Amino acid sequence: MADQFNKIGFIGLGIMGKPMALNLIKAGHKLAVYDIRPEPVEELVKKGAERCLSPKHVAEISDMVITMLPDSPDVKEVVLGKEGVLKGIQPGTIIVDMSSIAPAVSIEICKKVKEKGVEMIDAPVSGGEPKAIEGTLSIMAGGDLKTFEKVEGVLKAMGSSVVRVGEIGSGNITKLANQIIVALNIAAMSEAMVLAEKAGVDAESVFNAIRGGLAGSTVLNAKMPLILDGNFKPGFRIGLHIKDLKNALETADELSVAVPLTKGIMEIMQTLKADGKAGDDHGGVIRFYEKQAGVEVRKKSREKDYTDLFPENFP
């Protein structure tokens, strides 16, 4: 059931944005959409959305505008640029930026938005493409409580968990914390599985043995099956995770917080980027470890003889 908004503008129909917009349509909301690429716009128009020619055009016909864009400069251009949202927006409209950007940029944009009599929420998401499709994203929001309450119902059409964590910028602080944890989970999983494979123990068997214990996690369950299938099609690209970690490192530096593990996984991802893998899913972090160890962690049916690996244990 649609909420109080007559029309919701949605800008940014990429891997995440397109399924999120589709879920809003399924929930009964009327959408006005814009993307620099015509293909996803056409797909949404076929589902009943209205095509717009610019972010300004979206704002002119919407009373809530959602942005889902790659990085801080993109959000600044779309909201504040010469054909941006603020050029067409009316007082009383609410902007919800669901992009993952630098918290300081969220605060900067919000100050300029408020000068136009417009409210803003930063509400980045976690869950990747599968949960965007399912409408079960985790959404972490920052902004005024009353403004959040107005948009909460809309956000629940895209996510199974919608939590306000504080004032503007706090949504993206929470997302940075999330991205650090996800990256380090993937790194820990990769180290462990490559170690097992190198030792001659089938990684798929290790996965099945530990997934129900304390080492089990959403990351392990989501990424390990894809790795075993050799599927690195991006649900969340390494290049985008590098962007998030860059924002995390800059924020940590501003706050004088030590983040040595984050620096380590950033170096690994940068190495993969240099190898031409920035477009791969972030589960592809395992390929850094595989290259170092000279093994691949893939699904197979076999048992190894350990006597050649550990002869001292087999007298």
**144 Rama sector, left if φ>0, alpha if ψ -120 to 50, beta otherwise:** beta
Query: Where does CATH 1.10.1040.10 sit in the chain?
Result: 173-298
Residues 176-210: pLDDT tens digits? Answer: 999 999 999 999 999 999 999 999 999 999 999 99
Q: For residue 291, what is the DSSP state?
A: H
pLDDT at 3: 54
Contact 176, 152 (CB under 8 A): no
Query: Where does CATH 3.40.50.720 sit in the chain?
Result: 8-168
Topology given in CATH for the domain delimited by 173-298: N-(1-d-carboxylethyl)-l-norvaline Dehydrogenase; domain 2 (1.10.1040)
DSSP result, 66-78: EE--SSHHHHHHH
26 among known catalytic residues? no
Selected catalytic residue, list 56, 175, 243, 277: 175
Count of residues in the chain? 315
**Residue 69: what residue type?**
L
pLDDT at 315: 42
**CA dist., res. 271 & res. 289, Å (int):** 11
Residues 120-141: pLDDT tens digits? Answer: 999 999 988 889 999 999 999 9
At residue 143, the 3 state secondary structure works out as coil
User: Which residues are registered as beta bridge partners of 64?
Assistant: 8, 94
Architecture of the domain whose range is 8-168:
3-Layer(aba) Sandwich (3.40)
